[in-house]
Structure 1
Amino acid sequence: MHVNARFWDRLAPRYARMQLRDPEAYEKKLAMTRAWLGPEAQVFEFGCGTGTTALKHAPHAGHVTAIDCAPAMIGIARQKAAEAGIGNVAFRVGDLADMPDSSAAFDMVMAHNVLHLLPDRAEALARVHRMLKPGGVFVSSTACAAGAPRLFRWVLAAGHALRLLPLFNPLTADALRAEIAATGLGIVEDWRPEGGRVPVLFLIAQKPG
């Protein structure tokens, strides 16, 4: 288990109890995403955490496959699915790199609060492109911390160097847009919620049909 998995495993119970910082923004993201779903939609989410977003979208899709590297996160997600009686979501412990990526199997791939944590974002985005069906969409919400206070960025870097915190790449919104566009996905929706210590970029990008 790598350092990120160990960190998120320890954090899982506390993470599950955390309140949304901006419920209004979260609901808007859900609504924007659901506009691209349908009753037969096959959805994949990586870095799903305790499964909240996957479970929110499940009633609007055919099936959702959701993975996370932390077994404790997946355990909580499965419990939440069972308690809610939601049966069209499969929660699995795993990494995006372990997923088959050549079958164009999914109508939607989601990555929320995870792209800035990846050591090889370019490879991950290329894999997402391959996993999508023609016309499928990639939905992401990503912290773009390049403009965050210097002390905040220093603490994150020092914590990772000491193996206390996961990797946290300080992205800019423009750089992330360019990386996604470089895979051949076309950005069709782009929204930046106001407020918050760290700017967030929510976007939807489509694979050509």
Structure 2
Amino acid sequence: MSSRDFDLNQTRDRLFADPQTPVAAFRFDDRVARVFDDMIERSVPGYRTIVTAIGLLGERLARPHSRCYDLGCSLGAVSLALAQRIQLPGCEIIAVDNAWPMLAQMRRRLAALEPLPTPVRPVCADLADVRIDNASLVVLNFTLQFVPLPQRADLIARIHQGLVPGGVLILSEKIALEDPRQQALFTELHHAFKRAQGYSGLEIARKRAALENVLVPEPLAVHRHRIEQAGFTSVEVWFQYFNFLSLIAIKAPASTGQSHE
């Protein structure tokens, strides 16, 4: 993915810089959509590396005449990374988000970059209403942490059900650490990362307050258990930077005779 794909209409994130503005619960509205590229790259350690690598993984893992799903696609960074790397007959990328301001920006980005080697179909919908079908690859790139806790197991189970045998889930998340000392250390390391990206202490504190009870991280062990309970037969961490990581989960191939449906 080229840098221009990230930088299209990029605006510097200053949403939490004004101490006089009340801190409201974080929402993916027009204000966030305008600065999201800058916000996420300066807030999530390794974000650009993860997106680029997902494109490479998609090139290796996607199958002809199947679908790749980017669930919680935001401005479409993952969808575009996949679309530029995958060159297979009959393959389609389904990009889903429930925030129309984000999806509207993504549509403009697609229009500027088309034609792409693999078509991308944006869909505005809640993940609870999305049917996963004939999928060789499903990506949740820092999305599950915004899904209400009671809905997470069902979403992972539906993804497993909708994947073809041997299909793959890529799950990127901010995780919670079970040891309080490690949690405190990783929190400070994350804040140090954000300060190094130009955020002030005030901005960091105000954004953290806005995300309280909106972004709810869980321990790695909880993610592993949920994924295994859904029926995936292999789960591995392929990337980690502080308490931000990405997992690959593989559905059993048809030849094993295993069934978890």
**Pairwise same-fold verdict (TM > 0.5):** yes
**Residues in 2 aligned to 1:148 and 1:29: alpha-carbon distance in whole angstroms:** 27
The one-letter amino acid paired with 1:206 is K
Q: Offset of 1:18 from its aligned partner?
A: 4.0
**Residues in 2 aligned to 1:207 and 1:48: alpha-carbon distance in whole angstroms:** 26
Alignment of 1:187-202 (within 5 A): 187=234, 189-193=236-240, 195-196=241-242, 198-202=243-247
Hey, what does 1:149 align to over in structure 2?
A: 184
- CA 1:151–1:56 in structure 2 vs 1: closer, same or farther (change >3 Å)? closer
Hey, what does 2:19 align to over in structure 1?
A: none
Hey, what does 1:205 align to over in structure 2?
A: 250
Q: Does 1:70 find its partner at 2:107? A: no
TM-score by length of structure 2 reads: 0.65
Q: Offset of 1:57 from its aligned partner?
A: 0.4
Alignment of 1:78-93 (within 5 A): 78-86=107-115, 88-93=119-124
How many pairs were matched up?
Answer: 198
> Do the aligned partners of 2:232 and 2:249 also contact (CA within 8 Å) in 1?
no
Match of 1:7 among 19, 23, 27: 27
**Residues in 1 aligned to 2:49 and 2:169: alpha-carbon distance in whole angstroms:** 22
- CA 1:24–1:134 in structure 2 vs 1: closer, same or farther (change >3 Å)? closer
Hey, what does 2:131 align to over in structure 1?
A: 100
Alignment of 1:26-41 (within 5 A): 26-41=51-66
Hey, what does 1:16 align to over in structure 2?
A: 37
- Cα RMSD of the aligned pairs, angstroms, is 3.0
Q: Offset of 1:179 from its aligned partner?
A: 0.8
The one-letter amino acid paired with 2:138 is V
**Residues in 2 aligned to 1:151 and 1:138: alpha-carbon distance in whole angstroms:** 26
Match of 1:181 among 228, 248, 261: 228
Q: Does 1:170 find its partner at 2:217? A: yes
- Partner SS, residue 73 of structure 2: coil
> Do the aligned partners of 2:128 and 2:155 also contact (CA within 8 Å) in 1?
yes
- Partner SS, residue 131 of structure 2: coil
**Residues in 2 aligned to 1:110 and 1:73: alpha-carbon distance in whole angstroms:** 17
Q: Offset of 1:131 from its aligned partner?
A: 1.7
The one-letter amino acid paired with 1:12 is A
Q: Offset of 1:51 from its aligned partner?
A: 0.3
The one-letter amino acid paired with 2:170 is V
Q: Does 1:113 find its partner at 2:133? A: no
> Do the aligned partners of 2:235 and 2:247 also contact (CA within 8 Å) in 1?
no
Q: Offset of 1:98 from its aligned partner?
A: 1.1
**Residues in 2 aligned to 1:117 and 1:152: alpha-carbon distance in whole angstroms:** 19
**Residues in 1 aligned to 2:156 and 2:245: alpha-carbon distance in whole angstroms:** 18
Cα deviation code 1:131-190 (max 9, x no counterpart): 21222221111111335339969x79x846xxx656222311122111101100122543
State the 4+ residue runs in structure 1 displaced beyond 6 angstroms.
none
Hey, what does 1:135 align to over in structure 2?
A: 166
Identity %: 23
**Residues in 2 aligned to 1:189 and 1:42: alpha-carbon distance in whole angstroms:** 23
TM-score by length of structure 1 reads: 0.79
